[in-house]
Structure 1
Amino acid sequence: MPEKPHVDFWFDSLCPWSWITSRWLLEAQKVRDLEVTWHVMSLVVLNEGDLPHQLNDPEMLRKVYAPVRVAAAVEDAYGREMLGPLYTAIGSRIHHAGNKGFKDVVARDFDVLIADALAEVGLPAALAQAAADPTWDAALKKSNSEGMDVPGGGIGTPTLHINGVAFFGPVIGRIVPSGEEAGKLWDAVLTLASCPDFWELKRDRADLEPDFG
């Protein structure tokens, strides 16, 4: 392993599990020496042709596409270094606004949500136009492929590449508290990534629902 581990993190802004894992990773970064590069992905693009029934409504589909298309446009114009701040700005509005499930999320006014997030990170308001522009879907497919078309990928989000070793997960039920608890979980994940023969560790999710703390 290199002296300073590097994590490539693929996110879909609407995915609660991706959001929780991303917040854990940022907490771990405060107590461990690691680098993170953010990559946008799209679950709706990944599952094209096999979408859940909730997305049959055109208005819901529009909202699911909106954040990731805007993220693709931001990356194209300003580079990946802006994806992390944008993800935090959008994700905090989606997942920490009293939402209790998918229906609560899609009931939000995404035009306002995205405009506010762009303003928070100092990006031009005009980038919000990408939300309804399907030409950005090609960039989403490319980013999806970079994250998923590797051994260990191909499942969904969160997907991490740790020093080039791909994983789906870790999937965490609640936001890990700051400090050493987050660091210890990172230590465990890094240890697994260092083992070339490690493949999978999984347990029953049962009725676990995301808890944003």
Structure 2
Amino acid sequence: MMIKEQTDREEVPFWFDPLCPWAWITSRWLLEVERVRPVRAEWRIMSLAHLNLVQREGKGLSAEYRDLMTKAWGPVRICAAAAEHAGRGVLGPLYTAIGIRLHNQRRRDDPQVIAEALAEAGLPESLAAAATSTEFDQLIKASHDEAFNEVGLDVGTPVLRIGGTALFGPVITPAPRGEAAGRLWDGLVLVAGTDGFFELKRSRDRSVKPSFE
């Protein structure tokens, strides 16, 4: 199959929180789709911390998960600061650099992760200070609301938009590769184009697995 040039592809907005392992796997699937279908991922940020602690007011959260959500502010704030500094195009490389370290290498408690990721994406280390600042929270909220005003608050991340329809998911593990990734994309295009379609779901029978780089 001949794939269109990068400038002649359908843009697919994809909202992620860098801390979410499920969003990470789905993002790697979408990159695989780029290889076999005429699409291009457009990376955007959402915030699990904002969703769970602010919009859902922390209801039903265990103490452990509440603590995780508090920590989740840091990485997404750094992504917002990076986008403000260098443009939204930097989100893809930065997300990949952070995700490989957090999810593939499982370095979730390593304080060097952010500095290394910023350096790999060609960004100044000073952006790491955004993790504990509220300076970029309105930018996060604006990007977050763009997705969740449409998809609703009873879902999480990832969220993507296909042909004008925002969908939660797909939630997958591991990420399919090659033409298998393309077939999953084709299925999502079909359901996104079906008026009145809302949900397909089954219980998870496996744990999350780090995806390929």
Distance 2:139 2:65 in 1: 21
RMSD after superposition: 1.8
Matched residue, 1:126: 126
Distance 2:95 2:156 in 1: 17
Pairs aligned (count)? 198
Helix, strand or coil for the counterpart of 1:68?
helix
TM-score if structure 2 supplies the norm length? 0.86
8 A contact 1:13–1:68 mirrored in 2: yes
CA drift at 1:132: 1.1
In the TM superposition, what are the counterparts of 1:54-203 in structure 2 within 5 Å? 54-57=64-67, 60=68, 63-97=71-105, 99=106, 105=108, 108-110=109-111, 112-150=112-150, 152-154=151-153, 155-177=155-177, 179-203=178-202
1:212 and 2:210 are equivalent in the alignment: yes
8 A contact 1:6–1:163 mirrored in 2: no
Q: Deviations over 1:53-74 (max 9, x none)?
A: 21454xx556321110000001
Q: Which structure 1 segments of 5+ residues have no match?
A: none
Helix, strand or coil for the counterpart of 1:135?
coil
8 A contact 1:159–1:168 mirrored in 2: yes
Helix, strand or coil for the counterpart of 1:166?
strand
Aligned in 2, Cα 1:62/1:126: closer, same or farther, shift over 3 Å? farther
Aligned in 2, Cα 1:153/1:166: closer, same or farther, shift over 3 Å? farther
CA drift at 1:34: 0.5
TM-score if structure 1 supplies the norm length? 0.86
1:28 and 2:33 are equivalent in the alignment: yes
Percentage of identical aligned residues: 47
Helix, strand or coil for the counterpart of 1:35?
strand
CA drift at 1:119: 0.3
Distance 2:176 2:29 in 1: 6
8 A contact 1:21–1:170 mirrored in 2: yes
Distance 2:104 2:77 in 1: 21
8 A contact 1:153–1:168 mirrored in 2: no
8 A contact 1:153–1:159 mirrored in 2: no
Q: Deviations over 1:168-206 (max 9, x none)?
A: 1111021223x111111111111111222322111122x
Distance 1:61 1:153 in 2: 19
8 A contact 1:173–1:211 mirrored in 2: yes
Q: Spell out structure 1 runs of 4+ moving beyond 3 A.
A: 60-63
8 A contact 1:74–1:127 mirrored in 2: yes
8 A contact 1:12–1:40 mirrored in 2: yes
CA drift at 1:80: 1.0
Distance 1:198 1:161 in 2: 14
1:6 and 2:11 are equivalent in the alignment: yes
